Amino acid sequence: MRLPMPCTATKKPTGHTSTLRCNVTPSTDDTAAMEQKLKHQRERKARNQRRYYENHKAEQQEKARLRASKNRMLAKQMSLPSLDEYQDEDAGDSSVLRPPEPSSPSDDGSSSTPSPEPSLVSPPSVSGSYITAPLPPSGFSSPSTPSFTSVPSPQSLQFPPFATSDSFRVPTTHGLSYGRTPITMTVVTNIDDWLSLSASRRIAALRRWMLDMEWNWGAIADWPARCTREWDIMKERDTGSVTEWLDESTRKATAGRQIIAYLALVMEGQLPTDVEIFRDLYLQSHQLTGDFYSAVIGLELTLDTVRSQIQMHTARKCSCGKATCRT
């Protein structure tokens, strides 16, 4: 049992009477009273905070949205490794394809190993009345890129069901020469080094591809509505103009299907070990897939309506010389 310290008498230098100071251990009642006082203080502080929030609710919600937006941007920036991190990651994984080291320059100053720059691949070929998104290439087909001794088998890379079985029809009748050679596209139609990329780099490559598509064809979400507006203008024009417009719209839908097929393969192959980075990449691919799928389906439905109108006009054997008319 702890005994209280003895009382000591002190005398102040000012001539006052002496006072007693006792080092007495607080009793149980004193401790309970102190805890109760602290509890009341915390409750009062919480009430004040709630009252302040209710009085400034709109301002506090706006601040919370700004903080959440900054945190999301910071998380996305942290989830995108730098070039050094990519090199460290590739160096630790022997299964990742790496181009051979460039050899020393020759006497004329040129190097014997070409630069590993990705090349543009020609648009997918049209066979019959159907066109499907191509599988990612099993190697580097461009002569400007080094060849590898071994490439992972593409049999393990499968497209989602809607990318293989739900192919969309290319018009071949209705009085228009739909089978013409496509106009040269200004956007990339394939990712040549897809198999050697990590999930983060795949997302980055697809986003660059999407930016090119939006630069050429406008906002992706606006594709269906824009196609409807353009058709209202094109329906009164001649057959050749409508043919070119339909070819361009079909190429737009084809590129959208390719993006969807690639997005289904983002999380296959080399994956990050960090759970948060993995979750962020998965959410990015899921969001992009949903946005693109809605735009492509809307565009294809609009094109089906256009072709139906052209077919009905052709069946009437109208001699107006246009793709369709209002008669």
φ and ψ at residue 20, rounded to 5 degrees: -110, 135
Asked whether residue 58 is assigned to any structural domain, the reply reads yes
Give the three-class secondary structure for 194. helix
Looking at the fold, whether 63 and 175 belong to one and the same domain comes out as: no
- Other Cβ atoms less than 10 A from the Cβ of 319: the count is 7
Confirm whether 105 is domain-assigned. no
How confident is the model at residue 94, as a pLDDT?
A: 45
pLDDT in tens, 276-301: 777 787 788 788 888 788 888 888 89
Give a yes or no: residue 292 inside a domain: yes
Q: Give the pLDDT score at 21.
A: 52
Question: In the numeric block, which tokens belong to residue 235?
Answer: 């329906």
Specify whether 70 is located in the same domain as 163: no
Closest residue by Cα to residue 269 from 185, 199, 316: 199
- Residue 251 one-letter amino acid: R
Tell me if 29 is assigned to some domain.
no
- If asked whether residues 179 and 250 sit together in one domain, one would say yes
| 83 or 231, which is more confident | 231
288/163 same-domain check: yes
Query: Structurally, how many domains does the chain consist of?
Result: 2
Q: 203 and 265 share a domain?
A: yes
User: Both 61 and 205 in a single domain?
Assistant: no
163 and 309 fall within a common domain: yes
Check whether residue 291 and residue 168 sit in a common domain.
Answer: yes
**Is residue 216, in this structure, part of any structural domain at all?**
yes
| Long-range contacts of 240-245, Cβ-Cβ distance < 8 Å, separation of 24 or more | 242/176, 242/310, 242/322, 242/323, 243/176, 243/177, 243/178, 243/180, 244/183
The token pair at 52 is 């302040």
The answer as to whether 106 is a domain residue is no
Instruction: Tell me the whole-structure pTM to 2 decimals.
Output: 0.40
The pLDDT, as a whole number, for residue 179 is 34
DSSP letter for each residue of 279-322: HHHHHHHHHHHHHHHHHHHHHHHHHHHHHHHHHHHHHTT--S-B
Structural domain includes residue 23: no
Does the pLDDT of residue 321 top 50, yes or no?
Answer: yes
Enclosing domain of residue 74: 35-79
Q: Are residues 196 and 75 part of one domain?
A: no
- Residue 190 and residue 72 in one domain: no
Q: Does residue 178 sit in the same domain as residue 65? A: no
In tens, the pLDDT along 155-202 reads: 333 333 333 333 333 333 333 333 333 333 334 446 667 777 777 888
- Percent with pLDDT over 70 in the chain: 53
Look at residue 260 and tell me if it is in a domain: yes
Cβ atoms within 10 Å, residue 234: 20
Same domain, 64 and 213: no
